[in-house]
Chains A and B, each alone.
Chain A
Amino acid sequence: MKRRRRGEVPEPGCLRAWAAESEALAGRWRAARCWGPGGAAAARQQRGAFGELLLRMRGLPAALTTLPLELTVLYNSLLFAMGASDCAINGEAEEIRQGLLRVLEACGASGQDLSTEELWQKVLQEVTVEELQAPLHRLGALQGAWWLATNRLGSITSLFRLLSNAEDPGRAPCSGGKNELLSLLKAWRVPAEGDSVSLVQSAKDLKEILCTAAAFLQGLQELEAGNLPAALSLLQEAAGGFCSKRVLAQIYTCLSCCTRQMGKPQTALQHLKRALQVDFQCLPALSHAAAVYHELGETDAELQALAVLYEALERNPPAAASTTPYCLIQTEHLVHTPALASLFRHRHPSEVKYLLAQRCLQDGRVADAVEHYLDFLALLQDGLQQQVPLDGGSALPRIPEVFLEAASALEQAGRHQDAITVCEEVVSRTADLIPQTLRVEEGPEQLECPSPGTELAGGPLSQKRESLCCLVWRTAAYLHQGWAWAKLGKKKEAITQFSRCLEDLLRVQLYRSGVEPTGSLLPEVKLLQEIRLLSLIGRGTQFLELGRHREALLDFQHGLQISPGDPAAASYLVQALWKLNRKQEAATRWQKLSESPAEEDGQQEGLGRCVARRYPLYLVSCLKQAAFPHNESLAGNIQDYLRTTTS
């Protein structure tokens, strides 16, 4: 009230009344904060009250005497506004802008057409009124928070450069190895909180939050860009900062991702453990832990992690985290990046259930796998509460594949009838989706369509691809049924299913467009060839068992035409020849077969690995079943024969 430069000065009584009201509001908030619950409602109420007060103050032309109070009220009201919403809203930026314009107005300047960045520059450089410095700096911190929340790191850096310069123009801004924004933030001297007006959240808190958020955000960006050491140091910096447990757990999870990518899975596990210690609700940490265990090959631990994750998800579905009532602005308000969203993608129980089932099946824990698969199928029937994500980021494959995997697990567990039923579902569902003839051009270039989704209007190519997929699933289902019937001893039914499989496979017509030889086939087409081979072998074995050796021989010969070097088909062929009493032929074949032992060894030892690479999980059991079981006895027989003939 000493300086009267410009603008009409409201009565001191008015100013005093406003100050008192602001004080009362802040006091009420402090009281409400102690009670704990109902914070959100209180915050909404406070926000309204501060906003109203601000409106009243803005009813008069800006005056230097009232501006400190006005800016403080603005600061308080914005804190509530930003704390109340999950993400930054444009309205707040506009509010800050308005505040700055009011400051300029009081000083007799204008800046309507300046950008917010330029406005700050103008205000900080031109307004030198002592009383305004502290409120302006506090508002600057809020602006910084807003810019962080909108990922505008450049703007916040230049703002804080201004803020520190304005405070201490003599000292050069510290730059160099360390991150500039972080050092600027740290160097920023928090304006002393005078006795003038109470703040609902102190500028010191805000500074701490800004530091943590800036480190976290930049760490995430570096992680995304692949600058792992930089990411690591930034994230470590963030982990040392001031934030809620939830965010701390997130930071640790990010640290684990970083170290895992650096090839230190054990350290990654340590970080994840810490994340869970800090916040056991941080379920993404669990799924990351499962992934790390998977990498390490510790299946037990992996399955355990997944099981715990599933249980946690089942028990309390992830709800919106309750915000702690102490801070209005928190780090979680300020860090929004797609990277974070994808790292902390919340898994649905169905996904976790499937992962459990899949891992069990892959690891050969058939009984557990069956349980999990059946649980998963039951989950599908549960209604809309159980969401089954099918989008790109989901852990789930296509649904028919899940069914086939379940069938595979059931079959391996000896529940052949159940397996047949599950396969029947796939068969019936695909019935209408496969055309009678599918002309497929050799060479995958034309059909290169990464999206597995089908679109009605998506053109014939993706539709053809989808039809191919359906054909794969349908024939695989027949294949499973054939083997299941075979296991049940019903050879005729088995032969029927294998025949259906082969019949359906005839729908595909490959034609060559150019002169280029085969080799660049669509993965689906390759898979179909494998299925045909397995199906032929399957039918052959059944013919053999029925004593229809000639038909068996034909099937095995066809199989070998498809895959000339296939050891199972070759072995069966030898056996069929043997049974047909064409022993000389059998012996020659056998000799040829045993001349390539490497392949045999490969098949023996690395079945799982090779299968994992080439075959989908649901075909692995069929592959195992197609393996020639009587290697030793046949070898003995032939060797005996050879000995007798040569001698």
Chain B
Amino acid sequence: MAHVGHRVDYLAGFCCPVGGLVSGKPRVLCHENEIYLSNGSEFVYVYDQEGKVLKAVYKCPDQVWHMELLPLPKQLYILCAHSGIYCVSLDQQSRLMEQTDGDGQESNCPSGVFPVDSDACIFPDSTLCTFTLLNNFVITLSQAQGKWWMKLHELPHPEQESPPYRQISEVGFCPGPEPGDEGDGPPSRFLPVLCCASSPGTVGSGEGLWCSGGFVLEEPLFSLLFGIDAAMLESPMILCGFPDGQLCSVPLKALSSSQTADGCHDVSSQDPPVKILHHLEEPIVFIGALRTERRAAEEEEAEDEQLFGDAGCDCVVAVGHYGKMVAVKADQREEATVPELREYYLRGPILCAACGSGSRMYYSTHSDISAVDLDWVNESSDPEDAESSTGVLPPVLSPASLSICSVVALSLSSRASEGESELLALSAKGRLMTCGLCSPEEAPPARMTPAEAGRRIKELLSGIGNASERVSFLKKAVDQKNRALASLNQVMNVSAALLSSQEGQKPIACTVTANWSCLLLQDAVTISCVLENCSEYSLEEGWTLCVQLLASPCALEEDSADSGTTFTFPIDQLLPGNKRELTLPLGSPADTKLDLPLTISCALYYSLRDILGSGSDSSEALDDFLPDDSPILSPDREGICLPLSECTIDMLQCLRFESSPPGPDASPPAAAPPAPPDPVETFLEVSREQTEPEGVKDSEPPQAPGDGNLPPSAASIRVSSELLKNALKNSSSGVPLSCATLRWLLAENAGAEALSSGEVASVRGAAPDGGEVQLLVREVAMNDLSPAGPIQAVEILMESPSLADMCRMHHAVIRRIQALVLEQAAQGSGPPDLRMQYLRQIQANHEMLLKEAQSLRDRPPPGEEGAATAEKLLHIYRQLRNPSLVVL
């Protein structure tokens, strides 16, 4: 409707918590030129509006719930959470401050924070919820024993110093059902609201009537609302708005505790002092009063002005948090004067509200401050129209926007100097601002002077600035929410797809292979992970592929077992059906030693922190979002983790063959197939070759075995041909068993494709650290094992100058054969008849060897003999690695 002229000035910023200030507890008071502000923390600020400086800061022992100012003597009454009401004398404090100012040079900033100590606590009562002041009386409302208690205390007169805060009277009551469901203490984040309504008669008697937020209520509304007794007693009335929505009135002059029964009364049989005026059914956040009939008062000003002095209010309003508002006004048009009660629905949630001297009420929501005018002149003279809209209150309210968003505390002040009222507002971000209010009469001046026009333009500009700030704020918030929702949706889709296909093929898969590639002119083993999205959802930005490399616990050096490295690759976008290959280096020969075998696990990770914003409460938001025991929640509870695959990379996969794959003519052993050379000879040859350098470098300390300067280590495994034939029958068609076996062993090696073309039974390759490794497969017959005759077997012979490489190779081969045996055992082929005696003999031999090795290891002989012992040990191990057993 009407645009309310206003001008916004920012005064100061005050600290506020990360999530912004919460409404209810912050409070802004204004007296003369000073603004008293509490922002819900334990601090109370005194701000000088004239000098635009912060004058003082008080630190209270606990969160400040409520604050009232007594102007004479200048005292601030502060209610702290769970401790009571503290009284701070401002006169004293300013004197104190002047002293300190004299000492220090800075006069602009407060010389510090004044702590409010426990001596200042005048009502130590942990059950206090709120209070209000009326002249030199304090009215407190506390909650104890399932009841509300209103107590009236008298403050000591200024002249008498000793502070006996005499309790005059109290009344306990419980409006409605059980006030304290959650035990003692305020039941919710809403505190009750108190407000004092005086009868018109009391104004004349008490010149210095002071009650912040209080008002004088005109007759006949006072009598109609509170009854003839209160009116004749001229008793001030306390209006209480409770978090459950009840609006009660209590006559201050007739507070009396008639404890006829200690239980709660129900409303019908309630004792008269406490009357329920209305039930708003939502937490009441504000009670105020308005002067709606300006003109009527002006008409009969002659008598009225003298009778009542300043005209009182003629309309009481109460506002609920969710936007319900009730207004009560006396309807005198009919033959009977009745209170007209009208409910309105404003757009909530309403954070705070304020009433000025006029007919307007200002209320603040998250997005705006609005003004509603309850002045309503039924202009239509049409009797029918009047019939349809009977009432003295407007049938609907049309809020006018002030375009100031998220204000948590409002107060109306009229500065005497300027003669216009202004709105003091504290925003959720802790900013204190004033908003000048022009009454509609003076808003459009007939003809503007240039100065006025300039001012008006300025105001308009500031209004525009404010509006655009608000728009961008709101837009940003909406956008962010939309984005978050979209992201969450796709995250949920992907998670569901992955989790539902736990058994079978995962729709999003990651395959890992090891390769040799040339990096920075050095050859190195790399791992390539191929992430393939076969699902119908695309992986959007925010997903991360995590590849964790973990040296297996059975790696050679046990202490490195737990050293895992994780590589993360952010995925920008992976559409359905697309692949992405990622490569990561495992290490080059020059690099640190590579501990094979490696366990590599891949997982997709999505950080929820990013989409939920960086607010401090996002982890709580996450708690709401996912249950605690959700399997997909990552251990730090900040994201979603979906495991994809796990695999092991071992020596066989990392072997590198000469640039030209081992062809039939590449190496002597490779040319074996037609007439395989005697493996024993070959072995001996190699051994001899390696022994020579060893003998040369005898002077070197033998403590470093397996570093290439030793004779080539060798190991062999025999597997029965039948077993292998069974296992490899798919791939071994047409090739000798030895070739098939070698192919099988090197199947996962990308560089060994050439093997598949020819019939190769032996290869020579390089380990990742550069050492040479040879692998030889041949068929042997085992004679002594079975009584039924010789058993055909395949012997896999591994040798390398480096003991470590040989061991890794041995491990890799055994790992494969283990898997194969397990697989075959599952198919249930029984072993042939064996000569047990022989087997036992071999086992006994081995056990003896083991024992010997152990004893040598346990008691390493000192000095010179050490070298010899090491040699011996090596020999024993070598013997152990060449069992005469066969895997059947």
A interface residues, Cβ below 8 angstroms from B: 317, 338, 341-342, 345, 348, 380-381, 384-394, 398-400, 403, 425-426, 429-437, 451-457, 466-467, 470, 473
Contacts and interface: CB of A to CB of B under 8 A. Distances in A.
Chain B CB count within 10 A is highest, among A392, A426, A437, for: A392
A342 B259 contact: yes
A386 B258 CA distance: 16
Contact of B252 (A345, A384, A392, A393): A384
Chain B CB count within 10 A is highest, among A345, A348, A431, A455, for: A455
Nearest to A462: B268
B279 interface: yes
A390 B259 contact: no
Nearest to B152: A384
Given A384-B168, A388-B233, A436-B335, A457 B279 contact: yes
B272 A451 contact: yes
Interface stretch (B78-86, B222-230, B527-535, B678-686): B222-230
A433 B272 contact: no
B260 interface: yes
Given A348-B256, A432-B337, A453 B154 contact: no
Contact of A432 (B219, B254, B255): B219
A151 to B, nearest CB: 10
B258 A457 contact: no
17 contacts: A384-B252, A387-B254, A388-B233, A389-B254, A390-B229, A391-B256, A391-B273, A398-B229, A400-B228, A400-B232, A433-B220, A451-B272, A453-B271, A455-B275, A457-B278, A457-B279, A467-B336
B228 A430 contact: yes
A434 B166 CA distance: 40
A432 B275 contact: no
Contacts of A431: 220
A391 B271 contact: yes
Contacts of A342: 258-260
A388 B253 contact: yes
Interface in B314-353: 328, 330, 332, 334-339, 341
A457 B332 CA distance: 18
Interface in B457-508: none
Given A399-B233, A430-B228, A391 B337 contact: no
B260 A454 contact: no
B465 to A, nearest CB: 46
B276 interface: yes
A452 B335 CA distance: 24
B451 interface: no
Nearest to B169: A387
The 7 closest A-B pairs by CB, nearest first: A435-B336, A436-B335, A432-B220, A389-B256, A453-B272, A393-B258, A391-B271
Contacts of A387: 168-169, 253-256
A390 B256 CA distance: 8
Given A338-B260, A453-B270, A456-B224, 13 more contacts: A385-B168, A388-B254, A390-B254, A390-B272, A391-B258, A392-B272, A434-B336, A437-B335, A451-B270, A456-B341, A457-B277, A457-B341, A473-B228
A210 to B, nearest CB: 22
A433 to B, nearest CB: 6
B272 A341 contact: no
A435 B335 CA distance: 6
A433 B261 contact: no
B412 interface: no
Interface string B164-201: 00101100000000000000000000000000000000
A630 B258 CA distance: 50
B254 A338 contact: no
A380 B205 CA distance: 13
A487 to B, nearest CB: 25
A434 B223 CA distance: 11
B720 to A, nearest CB: 66
B276 A455 contact: yes
Given A391-B273, A403-B232, A432 B224 contact: yes
Contacts, number: 138
B262 A338 contact: yes
Nearest to B328: A456
B258 A433 contact: no
B154 A470 contact: no
Contacts of B306: none
B227 A454 contact: yes
Nearest to A397: B229
B773 interface: no
Nearest to B221: A432
Contacts of B269: 451
A190 to B, nearest CB: 33
Contact of B228 (A345, A381, A398, A457): A398
Chain A CB count within 10 A is highest, among B134, B276, B336, for: B336
Contacts of B432: none
Contacts of A345: 258
A380 B220 CA distance: 20
Contacts of A432: 219-220, 223-224, 330, 332, 337
Contacts of B328: 456
Chain B CB count within 10 A is highest, among A380, A391, A403, A473, for: A391
A403 B228 CA distance: 12
A338 B262 CA distance: 6
Contacts of A380: 232-234, 253
B194 to A, nearest CB: 15
Chain B CB count within 10 A is highest, among A381, A388, A398, A435, for: A388
Nearest to A469: B228
Contacts of B224: 432-433, 456
Given A385-B168, A429-B232, A433-B337, A392 B271 contact: yes
Contacts of B271: 391-392, 453
A399 B229 CA distance: 5
B145 to A, nearest CB: 9
Nearest to A430: B228
A403 B231 CA distance: 13
A182 to B, nearest CB: 25
B24 interface: no
Nearest to A393: B258
B264 to A, nearest CB: 13
B114 interface: no
Chain B CB count within 10 A is highest, among A390, A403, A431, A467, for: A390
A37 B335 CA distance: 66
B270 to A, nearest CB: 8
